[in-house]
């Protein structure tokens, strides 16, 4: 009897211990399930129209304010070169001297011919003065006086021609020294000392590029040109150009040029082959940093007064389409397809379609969300979000 009671006691103890373990394991499983089903908090921003400035980039070619080809006007050999390639020159500075002795000889000959013509004029005047009193006294016919006067006029014309020949000879002689027609920078010098040059040579002696101001030429498509013409103020095309904001030049190394430029000219014709309009922007170049013939990018800003901005980090793509998650009135995540402007503003997209003012979009943790997932919206001040994005590089 004692042994049976002891066995029953042991069995009851084992059974109680097993039930206790099961209850403990069940409690742990329930706690884990509760944590998994907890609703997470997500930051949301309410969509509201904002002012945004977008940039459009256009590839551009650079030209100097003046690109003057220096060509000889006479035949001869290059005697001296007074500048080097890439040198900065001033207007009137001596560049080349051409050896052409025949032009100096022509000047001396023309000067001698003037003396001869002047002597002929003097002789003709003496003849007129001699004949006139004889005619007045009816000693000789008046036709003798007329003949003498005509001879004087002929000699005077010959003198004028001789003087013109001298001026022409001096002009040709002046072409043997070539001066810079403008301030600028010397280009390549293909001909060296001793080279025979003439007015018909294929390449110029050099090129002087005035780069105090530089022109950036770029093209906009026909649609962009029409939109500008419709939106800009002004009665004429030139007046509309003056209303455009300053533009920025991005150099070929990606550095932003420190001086702003202005769009001051556009072509009056549309290129039928490309469907584009050529536009010119002018930039100051005081340090001569930019050279003619280089390439760059013109960045043209334009402002949208009622833009809906979505941070790039709040978007995701599926099969080439862009989406955002919005927090509905039922606090469930809903994906919405949006269409955006290809240009960005401070790491934000400008929404063209898909969202309306007042919509709450989720701006953080979108990678962990799923369609219809419950969430707890945490409103975030929109100004702080966009200002923070604006400060990021």
The domain limits of the chain are 41-52+304-391, 57-64+208-303, 72-98+178-203, 101-174
- pLDDT of 67 reads 87
Q: Which positions of the chain have pLDDT values less than 70? A: 1-37, 231, 393
DSSP one-letter string for 150-179: HHHHHHHHHHHHHHHHHHHHHHHHHTTEEE
Give, rounded to a whole angstrom, the gap between the first and last alpha carbons of the chain: 89
> Could you read off the pLDDT of 257-292 as tens digits, one per residue?
999 999 998 887 777 777 788 999 999 998 888 988
Give the model confidence (pLDDT) of 98-112 as tens digits.
Answer: 998 999 999 999 999
- Which tokens in the block code for residue 180? 């810079």
Paired tokens of 370: 């799923």
**Is 205 exposed, middle or buried, given 0-12, 13-18 or 19+ CB atoms closer than 10 A?**
buried
- Dump the DSSP string for 297-325: EEEEEEEEEEEEEEEGGGEEEETTEEEEE
Q: What is the Cα gyration radius of the chain?
A: 45
Per-residue pLDDT at 13: 40
Q: What is the pLDDT of residue 388?
A: 82
Interacting residues of 199 by C-beta distance below 8 A, sequence separation 6+? 71, 72, 73, 74, 75
CATH of domain 57-64+208-303: 2.40.30.170
Evaluate whether the domain defined by 101-174 bears CATH number 1.10.287.470: yes
- Angle (CA) 285-287-288 rounded to 5° is 65
Range 72-98+178-203 classified under CATH 2.40.50.100: yes
Structure confidence at residue 20 (pLDDT):
46
pLDDT at 37: 56
DSSP string, 80-95: EE---TT-EE-TT-EE
Q: Which of 191, 217, 214 is nearest to 204 (CA)?
A: 191
- For residue 276, the model assigns a pLDDT of 86
Question: What pLDDT is recorded for position 232?
Answer: 73
Level-2 CATH architecture, domain 41-52+304-391: Beta Barrel (2.40)
């Amino acid at each position: 009897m004692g042994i049976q009671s002891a066995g029953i006691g042991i069995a009851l103890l084992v059974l109680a211990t097993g039930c206790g373990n099961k209850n403990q394991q069940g409690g742990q499983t329930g706690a884990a399930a509760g944590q998994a089903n907890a609703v997470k908090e997500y930051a949301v921003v309410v969509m509201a129209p904002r002012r945004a400035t977008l940039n459009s980039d256009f590839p551009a070619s650079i030209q100097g304010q003046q690109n003057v080809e220096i060509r000889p006007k006479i035949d001869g050999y290059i005697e001296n070169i007074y500048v080097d390639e890439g040198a900065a020159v001033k207007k009137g500075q001596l560049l080349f001297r051409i050896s052409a002795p025949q032009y100096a000889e022509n000047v001396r000959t023309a000067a001698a011919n003037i003396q001869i013509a002047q002597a002929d004029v003097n002789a003709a005047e003496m003849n007129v003065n001699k004949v006139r009193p004889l005619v007045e006294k009816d000693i000789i016919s008046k036709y003798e006086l007329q003949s003498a006067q005509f001879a004087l006029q002929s000699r005077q014309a010959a003198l004028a021609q001789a003087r013109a020949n001298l001026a022409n000879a001096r002009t040709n002689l002046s072409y043997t020294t070539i001066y810079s027609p403008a301030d600028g920078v010397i280009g390549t010098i293909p001909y060296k000392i001793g080279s025979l040059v003439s007015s018909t040579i294929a390449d110029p002696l050099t090129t002087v590029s005035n780069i105090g101001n530089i022109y950036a030429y770029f093209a906009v498509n026909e649609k962009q040109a029409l939109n500008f013409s419709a939106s800009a103020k002004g009665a004429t095309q030139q007046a509309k150009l003056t209303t455009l904001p300053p533009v920025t030049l991005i150099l070929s190394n990606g550095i932003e040029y420190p001086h702003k430029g202005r769009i001051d000219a556009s072509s009056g014709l549309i290129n039928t082959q490309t469907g584009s309009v050529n536009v010119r922007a002018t930039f100051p170049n005081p340090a001569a940093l930019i050279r003619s013939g280089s390439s760059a990018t013109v960045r043209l800003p334009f402002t949208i007064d009622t833009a809906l901005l979505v941070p790039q980090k709040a978007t995701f793509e599926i099969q080439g389409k862009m989406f955002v998650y919005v927090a509905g009135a039922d606090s469930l995540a809903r994906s919405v397809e949006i269409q955006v402007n290809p240009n960005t503003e401070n790491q934000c997209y400008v929404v063209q379609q898909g969202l309306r003012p007042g919509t709450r979009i989720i701006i953080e943790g979108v990678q962990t969300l799923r369609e219809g997932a419950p969430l707890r919206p945490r409103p975030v001040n929109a100004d702080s979000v966009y200002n923070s994005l604006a400060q990021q590089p």
